[in-house]
Chain A
Amino acid sequence: MSSTFDQVIVGGDVEALEESELSLLETLDHVLNRGLVIAGEITISVADVDLIFVGLNVLVSSVETANEVLRSREARPVLSTAPTERSADH
C-alpha cells in the first residue's frame, strides 16, 4: 500500500508501528469515521480479523469507529449502524 503520509513524527508506544500501519489507521479513520452520510443507509458487517491488528490499540482510544468495530466484534458478528446518531460528528 502506498503511504498517505507526507510527514510522520512518532515516538513512545507508536514507535512500534510501521508507517504503512499508521497509514492504514489513518485511512480507517477517514473512510469509516467520516464522509457524507445518508440517514439510515449505512450497513456494514465486521468479519476481517486481519483489519484489527495489534497496532490499532495505540490509537484506538480516540478513533471512535475502530472502538465500535472492536465492541461489535465482541457483541455480535453483524452490525447495522445508526448513522443518524453520528452524522453530526463530521
Chain B
Amino acid sequence: MKFYLYCVTDADPNLKDDPGGLAEQIVEVINSKSLFVVASKFDGEAVPVTRENVLQHEAIVRKSFSNTTVLPFRFGSLVTESGLESYLKTREHALVERLAQVSGCVEMSVKIIWQNSAGIEDSEVTVPDLEEVGAGTAFLMFKRGELLGNYRLEQEARELEAWLADGLKDVVREEQITIEPTQRLVLSASYLVERARLTDYRLKLGLLQAEQTNLHFLSSGPWPPYTFANIDLEFGAHFGVI
C-alpha cells in the first residue's frame, strides 16, 4: 500500500469535511515536525489519468490551499510510507523555505497566442519554383527563408517577453516565463502574486492586453502555486549538485 500525495502544507489544513481522495480513499494529514502532508492510501501501481482523478487532485489541493499555504505535488505522486518519511527528513529545510516564499501568494497564469496575421503564419516560407532555379538553389533559398523567419519570430517573442515582464514587475513576486517562438502558443507565463495585490495585477494585465489587440491572451487563476512548488533546484544547491 502506497500513499498518493496531494500537497505539503505549513499547518493542518483541517479537511474534516473533505469529499474523499482518489479511489474513494479517506484523505489523511500526516504530520512531520513543522510540515503536514495531505495524502490518501492508494492500492495500485499507477494512477489513472482521468478527468475525475485530475479534478479530484485539484479539488483537494485547492481545499487545503483555502486554509493553509501549500506546495502541490504533481499528479501521480505515489510513495511508500518509508519513502515519504525519507523525503520529508532530507528535504524539510527546503520545503519550509519554499513554503515561506509562497506564503500569502497565489499563482496567476498568462498564455499568449499569435494571431494569424501577426505571428507564425507570416513566417511561412515560399517554396521556390523548381523550373526557374535548380533543386540545390531552391533548397538553399527555402532554408534561408526558414531561418530568417524563425529569427524574426524569436526576436518578436523576446520583445513580447520583455514587454510583459516589465509591465507586471511591480505587482508580482516571482515569475516563470517560457517562450516558444515557432509555436502558435508563443508565451506561457506564471506569476506568483500576493493576494493583497491581485486587484493591481488584474488591472495591470488588463491595460497590457489593451495595448496588444493583435494577440490572444488566455489568463487564468488564482491557482495554488503549482509552478513555484518545486524545490529541486534549492535541494541541489544545498548539496552542491548544481
Residues in A with CB closer than 8 Å to B188 are 62
Residues from chain B with Cβ under 8 Å of A37 in the complex: 73-74, 77, 230, 232
Contacts across chains A and B counted by CB atoms under 8 Å = 176
- Asked whether, in the complex, the Cβ of A10 is within 8 Å of the Cβ of B46, the reply is no
A35-B226, A44-B49, A50-B51 known; A10-B232 Cβ under 8 A: no
B218 contact set on A, CB distance < 8 A: 8-10, 14, 22, 26
Of B47, B48, B205, B230, which contacts A35 at CB under 8 A? Answer: B230
Q: Contact partner of A90 among B47, B73, B226, CB < 8 A? A: B226
Select from chain B the residue with minimum beta-carbon distance to A42: B76
**Interface residue total, chain B, C-beta cutoff 8 A:** 58
State which residues 82-113 of B face A: CB under 8 Å: 83, 87, 107, 109, 111, 113
Bitwise interface map of B from 49 to 67 toward A, beta carbon under 8 Å scored 1, else 0: 1110011011000000000
Assess whether A61 is in contact with B185, with CB atoms less than 8 Å apart. Answer: yes
Residue B71 lies at the interface, judged by CB distance under 8 Å to chain A: yes
A48 touches B51 (CB 8 A): yes
Interface 1/0 per residue, A42-72 and B, CB below 8 Å: 1111111011000000110111000001000
Chain A nearest CB from B57 CB (Å) reads 6
Which A residue sits closest to B228, measured CB to CB?
A90
Q: Which residues in chain A, 4-44, are within 8 Å of chain B measured between CB atoms?
A: 4-14, 22-24, 26-38, 41-44
Distance of A29 Cα from B109 Cα, bound (Å): 10
What is the size, in residues, of chain A's interface with B at 8 Å between Cβ atoms?
Answer: 51
Shortest distance from the beta carbon of A76 to any chain B beta carbon, whole Å = 12
Given A7-B206, A30-B58, 10 extra CB contacts under 8 A: A9-B216, A10-B218, A12-B216, A30-B223, A30-B227, A34-B230, A37-B74, A37-B232, A38-B77, A44-B48
Binding site for A on B (CB under 8 A): 5, 7-8, 45-51, 54-55, 57-58, 71-79, 83, 87, 107, 109, 111, 113, 115-116, 176, 178, 180, 183-185, 188, 190, 202, 205-206, 209, 216-223, 226-227, 229-233
